Amino acid sequence: MKKTYITMKRKGLLFFLMAIQLLSAYSCSDDNGQAQNQFTVKRVSIIPLPVSLEHGRYNIAIPRDATISEDIKGIGRDLLSATLAEITVNPGGAANGNAFIRIYNDNTLQKEGYRITVEDDGCSIYYSAPEGLLWGIQTMRQILLQCGTSDDGVKNIPLLILSDAPKKAWRGFHIDVARHMFTIDYLKKIVDHLSFYKINKLQLHLTDDQGWRVEIKQYPALTEIGAWRPFDEYDLRLIEQAKSDDSFRIDSRFIRGVDQYGGFYTRDELKELVNYASTRGIEVIPEIDMPGHFTAAINAHNDLSCTGEAGWGTEFSHPLCAGKTENYPMIKNIIKEVAELFPGKYFHIGGDEVEKTQWKKCPHCQALIVEKGLNGEEGLQNYFIKEMADYARSLGKEVMAWDDAFIPSEPQELLYTYWRDWMSDRPGLITQGGFQMIFMEWGRFYLSADPSDAQLRSLYEFEFEPQFKNIVKSNVNGFQACVWTEMIPNETRLEYHLFPSLQAFSELAWGSQRNWGGFQARIPWHLHRLEQSGFKPRKSAFTH
């Protein structure tokens, strides 16, 4: 048996299939092989659940000086080395064929797909592209970190054959850093976890009424003035709640004086985060929310609004004046600087919750509506979004917007992030119109909602039907989880909302298999590991 394994390794799909047969045969056989092995099998709990995973009949020892193939370079090598070191194995390097962890190219695999075999003489990861190799390494880490320890301290992992690939290309996480922000170092830790769970997009909501968080060289007032606010109603509520529950305390690193909240990310800090995430398989997408949610910028540049001042309408803040085309160059300059900072493919332009009351009264807005023959204020919003989206596209970006920017009578070619679940016909309309969509309706995908085990299960078991009908599923690029931070003013509070919801989300978004019972059985190890690494997941029925 052992020899069979060794001779057949590293040979691609045919041998992989044969290996499954042999492994199954082996599983059914008597315990002939038992004598040569000291460890009984310990099943691994992998999240997101792979497409297929078969355990062998016993565990193999991880050598105390286990080697990593010299063909594994960069972050993959760093991650594996750190993982082995964490389980007190002293990692070294070796030629690929001789290493304990080795890699093989297999062009039959999808870009993000991979296979892993753990055999008597070590572990092989098969891949066709860097993305697949990285996800294979992340799964390998989950296997290694769940190793057993024998009485004499030898670490061991199960023989296994694992095959995996995602169903959807987009597995995103959105975080609002405008209402409350987090340090770049902490965001990197979040990136570590996103990558661990094969989430591949991170949308940063960088600007809103409550703060402008990205340094813009040409307009320093955006951060000198726009990054700061007097404590708002949420801050005051948090201060009150923190008197009885310290987990609501506002992170003091972002408090100035006694009653101001704010801060911003420098260009270098953002470049560092983008690079860090990129090497871990995650594209960072900037969002500059416009024309609504623009109060922070209007506070710094009053002429951006219709009236020369910021303010609130009946539902939302007054937007920037879309009628003053003399301000368009400034908006485009901001888009250009931000686009340069984030070298990825996507740029999110916002487009949600645009209050129209001032536009109705503004001579500039009304003049532009007449001049361009626009369909009222809605047409004006569409005109402005199109002008800015066209500009971002001229910089090579694919432009995203919230589904509020989807006007059924004059739809634009945007990648829509769908969130308004009370507009349940929108996903059908958007996708039937041939437009691409990322699904993140707030009922389940907004992790900032009050978390509970019932909410967790509802997210985990999400299906489009019956609530969202007539969706052209091939136009749904994937899913995104979303955190808004009005009531999340520090790391502890964020972790309470994120975990274990993020793990449930990752399994839904990866999309290979879902099984609530299985998820409940697998989640405790992951929560335990988070706690070991200093994170504070929400206590749930699954916390052991």
Site for Zn ion, rule CB under 5 A: 306, 321, 323, 362, 364-365
Between 223 and 358, name the residue whose CB sits nearer to Zn ion: 358
First to last CA, the chain: 38
Query: In what helix (H) or strand (E) does residue 496 lie, and over which residues does it extend?
Result: helix 491-498
- Cβ atoms 380, 321 nearer than 8 A: no
Q: How many residues does the chain have?
A: 544
Contacts of 252 (CB under 8 A, 6+ apart): none
Minimum Å distance from CB 379 to Zn ion?
Answer: 14
**CA of 154: how far to CAs of 89, 91, 126, in Å?**
9, 15, 27
Between 97 and 308, name the residue whose CB sits nearer to Zn ion: 308
Q: List, in sequence order, the alpha helices (H) in 233-375.
A: 233-242, 267-279, 295-300, 328-341, 357-361, 363-372
Minimum Å distance from CB 381 to Zn ion?
Answer: 12
Between 284 and 362, name the residue whose CB sits nearer to Zn ion: 362
Minimum Å distance from CB 325 to Zn ion?
Answer: 10
Between 119 and 377, name the residue whose CB sits nearer to Zn ion: 377
Minimum Å distance from CB 211 to Zn ion?
Answer: 23
Q: Closest Cα partner for 463 from 482, 448, 441?
A: 441
DSSP state of 490: S
Residue 66 to residue 99: CA distance in whole angstroms? 8
Order of strands, edge to edge, in the sheet holding 260-262? 228-230, 260-262, 255-256
Q: Closest Cα partner for 44 from 144, 163, 164?
A: 144
Minimum Å distance from CB 380 to Zn ion?
Answer: 9
Minimum Å distance from CB 376 to Zn ion?
Answer: 13
Between 211 and 323, name the residue whose CB sits nearer to Zn ion: 323
Minimum Å distance from CB 327 to Zn ion?
Answer: 10
Between 50 and 323, name the residue whose CB sits nearer to Zn ion: 323
Contacts of 260 (CB under 8 A, 6+ apart): 228, 229, 230, 231
Minimum Å distance from CB 365 to Zn ion?
Answer: 4
Between 177 and 290, name the residue whose CB sits nearer to Zn ion: 290
Between 18 and 367, name the residue whose CB sits nearer to Zn ion: 367
Residue 421 to residue 404: CA distance in whole angstroms? 12
Specify the amino acid at residue 278.
Answer: S
**Backbone phi, psi, residue 69, to 5°:** -55, 140
| Residue 110 C-alpha from the chain's centroid | 21
Specify the amino acid at residue 485.
Answer: T
Between 117 and 317, name the residue whose CB sits nearer to Zn ion: 317
Between 2 and 361, name the residue whose CB sits nearer to Zn ion: 361
Q: Closest Cα partner for 415 from 394, 431, 391?
A: 431
- Cβ atoms 158, 41 nearer than 8 A: yes
CA atoms within 13 A on the CB side of 543: 15
Minimum Å distance from CB 237 to Zn ion?
Answer: 33
Strand partners, 102: 124
> Cα–Cα–Cα angle for 421, 429, 285, nearest 5°?
65
Minimum Å distance from CB 362 to Zn ion?
Answer: 3
Between 249 and 364, name the residue whose CB sits nearer to Zn ion: 364
Minimum Å distance from CB 378 to Zn ion?
Answer: 14
